[in-house]
Amino acid sequence: MKAVFIVYNQAQTEKVEYLFEKLKIRGFTRWTDLTGRGSVDGPPHMNTHTWPEQNTARMAVMEDETVKAVLEGIKKLDEENTDVGIRAFVWDIVDYY
Amino acid sequence: MSIYGNAVKRPITTIMIFVALLVMGGYSLNKLPIDFYPDIDFPAISVITTYAGASAADIETNVTRTIEDGLNSVGNLKNITSTSRDNMSIVVCEFEWGTNLDEASNEMRDGISFIETFLPEEVEKPMLFKFSSSAMPVLFYGVTADESFEAIANILDEKVVNPLNRIDGVGSVGLMGAPGREIQVDIDPRKMESYNISVEMIAGVLNAENLNLPAGNLEMGMMDYPLRVKGEFPSSDVLDDIVLASFNGQTVYLSDVATVRDTIRDTSLDERLNGKTGMRIVIQKQSGANTVQVCQDINAMMPELIKSLPDDIEITTFWDSSLFISESINNLSNTLMYAAIAVVLVVLFFLGRWRATFIVILTIPISLIVSFIYLYISGSSINIIALSSLSIAIGMVVDDAIVVLENITKHVERGARPREAAIYATNEVWLAVIVTTLTVVAVFLPLTLIGGMTGELFRPLGYIVTITVVTSTISAITLTPMLASKMMKLRKKPEKVRAISYDNIIGRFLNSLDGFYSRTLKLALRFRWGTLIIAFVIFLLSMMMAGGMGFQFMPEADQGSMTAAIELQTGLRVDETTKVARKIDAFIEENMPEAKFYYTSSGSDDQGGFMSLFMETGSHRININFTLTDLETRNRNVWDLSNMLTEYLETIPEIVTFDVVPNGGMGGTTENNVVLEIYGYDFETTSLIANALADSVSTIEGATNVNVSRDPSKPQLQIVPDREKMAQHGLNTYTLANSVRNRVEGPYMSRYREEGEEYDIVVRFVEEERSSLSNLNDIALMNMQNQVIRLGEVADIEEHWSPPNIERKNRERMVTVSITPYKVPLSVMAEQVQAKINQMDIPSDVNLQMGGAVEDMQESMKDLMLLLLLSLILTYLVMASQFESLKMPFIIMFSIPFAFTGVVLAHVVTGTTMNVISMVGGVMLVGIVVKNAIVLVDYINLTRARGVELKEAIVESGKSRLRPVLMTSLTTILAMLPLALSTGSGSEIWSPMGIAVIGGLIFSTIVTLVLVPVVYHMMLRKSDARKVKTEYDFMNGTGEGNPENN
């Protein structure tokens, strides 16, 4: 089991939802109206007058084999327009209830 | 969820809400009456008191003063003026604008009831008269007739007046100049005296004969009969056979001593329509009725009514107030349509996409229609102020939608789905959009707070622009994102640019414009001081130009009507006056083909009538009303014509004074005149000064219609009884006065009735026996012993001169000299008049004051300056809180003075004079101009915050914001262009506003684009350098906060 943490420009919400639906991932946790900045480039999403955009984050715990499909989808999504911004990070799940 | 999120997620609800608005607006629009001005009534109430037989001086001391004292304590009173004439006192209380006149009239009634006991006993109860513009006639018909003329009153009454009265909204229909029937009993005094009869006896007999009286009931058998004595004259013929007395056993009939004539009234009024005998039908509307509607209904009914009349009666529309109104409104509606088209074209030009343009321009009808709901709820009408407000607003309502749509487009082009893009893009800009709207509101809302007449006129403008702009903002953050989410599509970049396409032609042009601007900006930034100095010099020059320009109060519109009030030698007989009138008629006929109708009336209608409230009549006065042909079809305007008439009237020796008023007549605009008020108790001194002043100001170039308000003294015949002689003959003053009156004027008589109508019976001497001094001296007075004494034996007849009217203002006697400038601005005329006054030697007990339109103008200027200050403060407050900075608003406001430079230049270029309307335009500019600079400065701030160096940030932002700035400016400028250019009816009133806004906006846009970045650079260069030394430099151990440094 792995946890996938996806942070993305909130303007991508519907596309991420579509991805989850396509891959039949049911469970997730979502945080909305987040701020942050990428480590390399791209505009910060700070919810300020200067950088008005905002992020949404989504954490989903899934079987190991699904993770690859998710990351592939995210990569495709990002390549549509790298300025908009989406990233995914994967954790190992050690134990769960 | 946010308002825009909801709007996007529930599109049906959003559409329904806006459809509901449209439906309500459409309903309101349908119900709104059409009028020229908003419903503003001059806040004045008059008190009219009659005191029969008193001279002007008596009236002044006994009636006018007492009433003035009683009214002095009424609240909100601005001025109290009065005119005391023979028999009549008129006190006018003028209140501050916006006073509740119902409360005021109650207070006035209280005040009068308090002093009523101090008035002489014979004085009639003072009458309150509230002047209301809705009481002004809305329609005049001219009627001419040949053989039917004598019976015309009856014919018209039955066939025209009554049917018209039944029309909804018609208040009253009156006939003016209609000949009335009258039974005249012309007594021959010689015959009468030879039978030993007096006028009083004849009157007594006639009154006693002309009676129907009930005489009780008679019970007879089973019936109860009411008894009636029927003595009323069945026809006028029976008068001849009335027995007056018995003389030496012989019966004396009325026909023995008098001639009885059943004829038309001996009027002292001569009325001509286009030189032919005629009369007028005057129609007033009910208060609150729709003028245009009423006039249309009447005009629709008239042809049918005319058909039912005898062939020789001709009815023509003489003056129709609805024509000017509906023409002006149509004109403005067209203007509004052109403005809308201009805005659509500008939006399409810059956006280059049909769908986007459609979404943006949909805000126009929505925001405009909401203002109709406001007008309907506030009980107002569609008028020129409302429509020009819409013209101003139409260019501004698209701005917010453009900003929102632009951001949505940006997101869509980056790949977001339209639905999401709509929500998140709106989220990013909605606050900024609201704040820019607030700056506009900060300027327009104070318009609703100013006082005076300007306030009354421009309150709707303030409300309408505020409401439309706020609605447009709401629509921009709900409807616009919703529509964008449904209609926007990701546009694929075309692989090959077509030769004739938006991108190839307009896109290229706009790109080269961007390049040109960024080069200019770089140049300006290199020579900062030079740019600043040039700007400053231009501003100073324009202000110097403004100093030399004249000011008008209100622009005057050529309303195609004109009046002339002409006064001949006082005391002149009507026939003589009429001769002069015919001479003027001939001149008009020959030289003024522009006069469609002209109506000449000389003399006065002894029946009085309400028209005497609006114009002065008298046997020596001629009043002429003109209706001119359509503005488009004539070469000379109303001022040229009035000037021509003035020049002609000056050549007629019989004329003492005259007053030609262009646009005069019913419901005309305020006249641009200078009124000098001369206060002083002594008639002779003040009259002397007034006449001397009038003479000296008439030498000023452009001074026309110089008029002194105090009429020259009027000759009067005074019968001075010799009491001793009278006493010897057993006479007293009362019997003497009565006898003279009964013989010259006729005693009180019962009336002759026929077919439900009543006609006067007038018993007096035949005209030849009451037209000379010797006739008067011959009047026989009878004493108790029935002896005949001639008037000449007991009284002397003397000729005296007395002032016919005494005017007072604020309880001081006053005489005014009024001057109408021709082709000279009002303010220039006022200055020259002041110079003439300064040359004159004025006694210390006489006070001079400037009044009239000059006074109104100065008051309005003061109000407008205050308004400007208030607007500036409010916009500063809004901007300071928006930028969270005290410096930024200051930089932005640098563009405001140049808006005024633009206003001045626009007036110079178009050759128009400044007036209150163009100044209101100037104040409005504050809000519009600031908006542009905000867009620019905000973006420079943003770019700098994103880490770009100051100079580069300025150039980059400038380049990127050029299009939005040009777009918002151009929408407003082009929307106002039809307003400024229009030449139709009434355009003179609103075009100054268009000229002012266009001039100011063009100039200030250029300044915003060049000067504001320069000032920004100058003011922030230093603070940028300071930032390097930061407080938090603890890492290097050198910062202020480092303990090692302390």
Q: Report the SS3 class of residue B568.
A: strand
ipTM tops 0.85: no
Q: Which long-range contacts (CB under 8 A, 24 or more apart) does A63-69 make?
A: A63/A1, A63/A2, A64/A1, A64/A2, A66/A23, A66/A25, A67/A2, A67/A4, A69/A23
* Per-residue pLDDT, A58: 94
Residue B475 pLDDT > 80: yes
B213-262 pLDDT per residue, tens: 888 888 888 889 999 888 888 888 888 888 888 888 888 888 888 888 88
SS3 track for B765-816:
ECHHHHCCHHHHHHCEEECCCCCEEEHHHHEEEEEEEECCEEEEECCEEEEE
Mutate to test the interface with A, among B431, B433, B888, B942 (most CBs of A within 10 A): B942
* Per-residue pLDDT, B492: 61
Q: Report the SS3 class of residue B45.
A: strand
**What mean pLDDT is predicted for residues B10-34?**
91
Asked if residue B815 lies in contact with residue B710, where contact means CB atoms within 8 angstroms, the answer is yes
pLDDT tens digit at each of 97 positions of chain A: 899 999 998 888 888 999 999 999 999 999 998 999 988 888 898 888 788 888 999 999 999 999 999 999 999 999 888 888 899 999 999 998 8
Give contacts of B416 with chain A, Cβ < 8 Å.
11-12, 84
Q: Which residues contact B840 (CB under 8 A, 6 or more apart)?
A: B689, B692, B693, B696
Q: Is residue A79 within 8 angstroms of chain B, CB to CB?
A: no
Q: Which residue among A11, A51, A83 sits closest to B421, beta carbon to beta carbon?
A: A11
Residue B667 pLDDT > 60: no
* B954 vs B53, more confident: B954
Confidence of residue B669 (pLDDT cuts 50, 70, 90): very low
* Per-residue pLDDT, B986: 65
Q: Which residues contact B751 (CB under 8 A, 6 or more apart)?
A: B758, B759, B760, B761
Determine the Cα–Cα distance for residues A88 and A16; give it in Å rounded to an integer: 11
Report how far Cα B577 is from the mean position of its chain's Cα atoms: 32
- Record the tokens describing residue A7, joined without a space: 């942070």
Q: Could you tell me which of B149, B146, B102, B152 has the C-alpha nearest to residue B128?
A: B102
Confidence of residue B1046 (pLDDT cuts 50, 70, 90): very low
Residue B301: exposure state from Cβ atoms within 10 A (0-12, 13-18, ≥19):
middle
B678-697 pLDDT per residue, tens: 898 888 888 888 888 888 88
Shortest CA distance from A54: residue in chain B: B424
Q: Which residue among B420, B428, B429 sits closest to A13, beta carbon to beta carbon?
A: B420
Give the largest Cα separation in chain A, rounded. Answer: 43
B901-940 pLDDT per residue, tens: 998 888 888 877 888 888 888 888 888 888 888 888 888 8
Determine the Cα–Cα distance for residues B912 and B906; give it in Å rounded to an integer: 8
Pairwise CB contact (< 8 Å): A54 & B942: no
Residue B458 pLDDT > 60: yes
Shortest CA distance from A49: residue in chain B: B942
Determine the Cα–Cα distance for residues B599 and B625; give it in Å rounded to an integer: 5
Q: Is residue B69 within 8 angstroms of chain A, CB to CB?
A: no
Pairwise CB contact (< 8 Å): B414 & A84: yes
Confidence of residue B468 (pLDDT cuts 50, 70, 90): very high
B359-385 pLDDT per residue, tens: 998 999 999 999 999 999 988 888 888
Residue B61 pLDDT > 60: yes
Quote the minimal CA–CA distance from A2 to chain B in Å: 29
Q: Is residue A41 within 8 angstroms of chain B, CB to CB?
A: no
Quote the minimal CA–CA distance from A81 to chain B in Å: 6
Counting residues of chain B whose pLDDT is more than 90, the rounded percentage is 7
* Per-residue pLDDT, B116: 86
Confidence of residue B563 (pLDDT cuts 50, 70, 90): confident
SS3 track for B192-248:
HHHCCCCHHHHHHHHHHHCCEEEEEEEEECCEEEEEEEECCCCCHHHHHHCEEEEEC
Q: Which residues contact B340 (CB under 8 A, 6 or more apart)?
A: B361, B364, B394, B975
* Per-residue pLDDT, B25: 92
Q: Which residue among A11, A50, A54 sits closest to B942, beta carbon to beta carbon?
A: A50
Shortest CA distance from B424: residue in chain A: A11
Pairwise CB contact (< 8 Å): B420 & A50: no
Pairwise CB contact (< 8 Å): A15 & B411: no
Quote the minimal CA–CA distance from A19 to chain B in Å: 14
Determine the Cα–Cα distance for residues B484 and B482; give it in Å rounded to an integer: 5
Q: Report the SS3 class of residue A41.
A: coil
Q: Which residues contact B779 (CB under 8 A, 6 or more apart)?
A: B189, B739, B740, B743, B790, B791
* Per-residue pLDDT, B264: 73
Counting residues of chain B whose pLDDT is more than 70, the rounded percentage is 92
**What mean pLDDT is predicted for residues B33-43?**
75
* Per-residue pLDDT, B1029: 54
* Per-residue pLDDT, B1040: 53
B297-319 pLDDT per residue, tens: 888 888 888 888 888 888 888 77
* Per-residue pLDDT, B666: 44
Residue B101 pLDDT > 80: yes
B970-1028 pLDDT per residue, tens: 888 888 888 888 776 667 777 888 888 899 999 889 888 899 999 999 888 776 555 55
Which DSSP symbol is given to B138? E
Asked if residue B616 lies in contact with residue B622, where contact means CB atoms within 8 angstroms, the answer is no
State the average pLDDT for chain B: 82
**What mean pLDDT is predicted for residues B387-398?**
86
* Per-residue pLDDT, B668: 42
Q: Is residue B432 within 8 angstroms of chain A, CB to CB?
A: yes
Pairwise CB contact (< 8 Å): A81 & B411: no
Pairwise CB contact (< 8 Å): B414 & A15: no
- Record the tokens describing residue B945, joined without a space: 């915050």
- Of the listed ranges A78-92, B543-557, B571-585, the least confidently predicted one is B543-557
B597-613 pLDDT per residue, tens: 777 777 665 444 444 44
Residue B588 pLDDT > 80: yes
- Record the tokens describing residue A44, joined without a space: 């910060």
Asked if residue B331 lies in contact with residue B986, where contact means CB atoms within 8 angstroms, the answer is yes
For the ranges B343-357, B628-642, B753-767, the one whose mean pLDDT is highest: B343-357
Residue A55: exposure state from Cβ atoms within 10 A (0-12, 13-18, ≥19):
buried
Q: Which residues contact A81 (CB under 8 A, 6 or more apart)?
A: B414, B415
Q: Which residue among B420, B945, B946 sits closest to A11, beta carbon to beta carbon?
A: B420
Shortest CA distance from A82: residue in chain B: B414
Mutate to test the interface with B, among A50, A82, A86 (most CBs of B within 10 A): A50
Give contacts of B424 with chain A, Cβ < 8 Å.
10-11, 53-54
Q: Which residue among B415, B424, B425 sits closest to A81, beta carbon to beta carbon?
A: B415
* Per-residue pLDDT, B551: 76
* B293 vs B618, more confident: B293
Q: Which residue among A13, A53, A81 sits closest to B428, beta carbon to beta carbon?
A: A53
Confidence of residue B133 (pLDDT cuts 50, 70, 90): low
Pairwise CB contact (< 8 Å): B942 & A81: no
* Per-residue pLDDT, A59: 94
Determine the Cα–Cα distance for residues B919 and B871; give it in Å rounded to an integer: 14
Pairwise CB contact (< 8 Å): B942 & A11: no
Q: Which residues contact B841 (CB under 8 A, 6 or more apart)?
A: none
Q: Could you tell me which of B114, B102, B112 has the C-alpha nearest to residue B76?
A: B102
Interior CA angle at B932 toward B926 and B938, to 5°?
120
Pairwise CB contact (< 8 Å): B945 & A50: yes
Shortest CA distance from B883: residue in chain A: A49
